[in-house]
Structure 1
Amino acid sequence: MNKQSNGITIVIPIFNEEDGIGRILPAFEEYINQSKFEVNLLLVNDGSTDHSLSKIKKIAALHDHVGFISFEKNAGLSAAIRAGFEKSNTKWVGYIDADLQTDPMDFLRLEAMIPDYDLVTGRRTGRKDSAVKKMSSTFANWFRDSMLHDGVHDSGCPLKIMRRSVALHMPFFKGMHRFFPALTLIQGKKVIEIPVKHFPRVTGKSKFNVWNRLLSPLQDTLALRWMMKRQSVYTISENSIKTHKAAIHE
């Protein structure tokens, strides 16, 4: 199979997931073989305090398509994703959680949509989370959509592919990963949400709590709504800037 030259980098944030790191490469094998893209995996160690980093280094040393970066201390999921996008050098970037509650094979479904969209995000079907987690997520998604009107039902789904240039133009803040659709739409870009599978967590420990999954996102939603309301749109009718012959590619 001929692979497209404009590859894709899948960013995988990791925080204290030592028991599950060995599952990552086998889970990606079939997707990598079937993808139309040259797929790279970028493991981002978010200041783990267990043996995650040593296991990440061993995997990266053995596989050319696997790289890693490591934070000095824990900085949070949004920072890990953003750093991964910044260090990637492909036209497209993706994101999945290391707990593999979503299926890497579903990236094929997302790939099918990117010729027409700048962000393709999953919507978890039959979620295998606790009742409290599902209820708080449902409320947070309803509140976010009612305020931002991004048309997405599951903004926090940890399975996405987006154009890297679009991702890097987003303002960075703690918790930004929950607002990728709205931050894409602000740029005048196109977003679509498609259903993906969801599995129970089998390794590691959930980082869920009421503050990081409900109260904090509500505050962020209000802040982002303010920013959208204050957005200034302009159109340049004429200019005298000359275009250089050496065009800059994404």
Structure 2
Amino acid sequence: MTEVSIVIPAKNEAENIETLLDGIDAALAGRDYEVIVVDDASDDGMAEILRARLARAPRLRVLRHDLSGGQSAAVNSGVRVAQGAICATLDGDGQNPPEELPKLIAPLEAPGSEAIGLVAGQRVARQDTLSKRLASKFANGLRARVLNDHTRDTGCGLKAFRRAAYLELPYFNHMHRYLPALFARDGWGVAHVDVSHRPRGGGRSHYSNLQRGLVGIVDLAGVAWLIRRRKTARPTEVTK
């Protein structure tokens, strides 16, 4: 039985994907795991690279979106077909070091960890442009004040969570940036782990600071609404 499913949302990462997959195999050597790459309608040759790798990588599975749905849609597609009780995610651009994966998975497997639903990576020494770091700092600060999610960096792609708990969350576009608040909304504990960060190996980012900001305002209001209307009653079966 698969213990852990690694889900990678990726679009046009032909320059980075093989190095990333090699790193995951090295980081999880000795474990029972699978890797699910969700190709979000790439057109840079990444699909051909993945197809060729499938022949020699029995742990690899590849899903492909016919139309680009974005990062949250890709994560959702991967988690839905995952076989592991624990899922871990990292970005396809290589900026999330795969050697951090065991550190994220460990809190979910520790004795007495049943109440923890999510382990969120928190980037330190970010290898991004100054403008991106400043925009992220502002967005994280605003989100933390509105949602009180006690998370410094929700934009980090390195996360691990219980698959069953994730599938109970309300699904919407861009939800990947609000997972700590959504897991807490459903009564799950959220743990945080500091992780390292790398410069992008190749290609380019698919988001601009303005694009993130405009979408984020709408999303933040929506998540705040969801939290205010969270369910408070849980059924318990009565036995004889």
> Which structure has the larger Rg over C-alpha atoms?
1
Q: Any idea what SS the aligned residue of 2:136 has?
A: helix
CA contact (8 A) 1:121 1:192 kept: yes
Check if 1:151 corresponds to 2:153. no
Q: Any idea what SS the aligned residue of 1:43 has?
A: strand
Task: Show the counterpart of 1:86.
Answer: 80
Task: Supply the distance in 1 between the matched residues of 2:39 and 2:192 (Cα, whole angstroms).
Answer: 28
Task: Supply the distance in 1 between the matched residues of 2:29 and 2:68 (Cα, whole angstroms).
Answer: 33
Check if 1:119 corresponds to 2:118. yes
Task: Show the counterpart of 1:231.
Answer: 230
Query: C-alpha displacement at 1:25, in angstroms?
Result: 2.5
**Range with bigger deviation, 67-76 or 107-116:** 107-116
Aligned pair count?
235
Q: Any idea what SS the aligned residue of 2:153 has?
A: coil
Task: Show the counterpart of 1:247.
Answer: none
Out of 11, 17, 20, which is 1:15 matched to?
A: 11
Check if 1:29 corresponds to 2:28. no
CA contact (8 A) 2:118 2:160 kept: yes
Query: C-alpha displacement at 1:40, in angstroms?
Result: 0.8
Amino acid at match of 1:20: N
Runs of 4+ in 1 over 4 A off after TM superposition: 235-240
- Listed as ranges, the gaps of 5+ residues in structure 2 are none
Deviations 1:172-209 (A, max 9, x none): 11100001111111110110111000011121111121
- Indicate how the Cα distance of structure 1 residues 53 and 146 shifts in structure 2: closer, same or farther if over 3 A, else same: same
- Listed as ranges, the gaps of 5+ residues in structure 1 are 243-250
Task: Supply the distance in 1 between the matched residues of 2:178 and 2:227 (Cα, whole angstroms).
Answer: 12
TM-score w.r.t. length of structure 1: 0.89
TM-score w.r.t. length of structure 2: 0.92
Task: Supply the distance in 2 between the matched residues of 1:90 and 1:23 (Cα, whole angstroms).
Answer: 23
Deviations 1:128-178 (A, max 9, x none): 101111111111111111111110000110101100001111111110000
CA contact (8 A) 2:9 2:91 kept: yes
CA contact (8 A) 2:15 2:202 kept: yes
Percent identity among equivalent residues? Answer: 29
- Indicate how the Cα distance of structure 1 residues 167 and 232 shifts in structure 2: closer, same or farther if over 3 A, else same: closer
Aligned-pair RMSD on alpha carbons?
A: 1.7
Query: C-alpha displacement at 1:29, in angstroms?
Result: 2.8
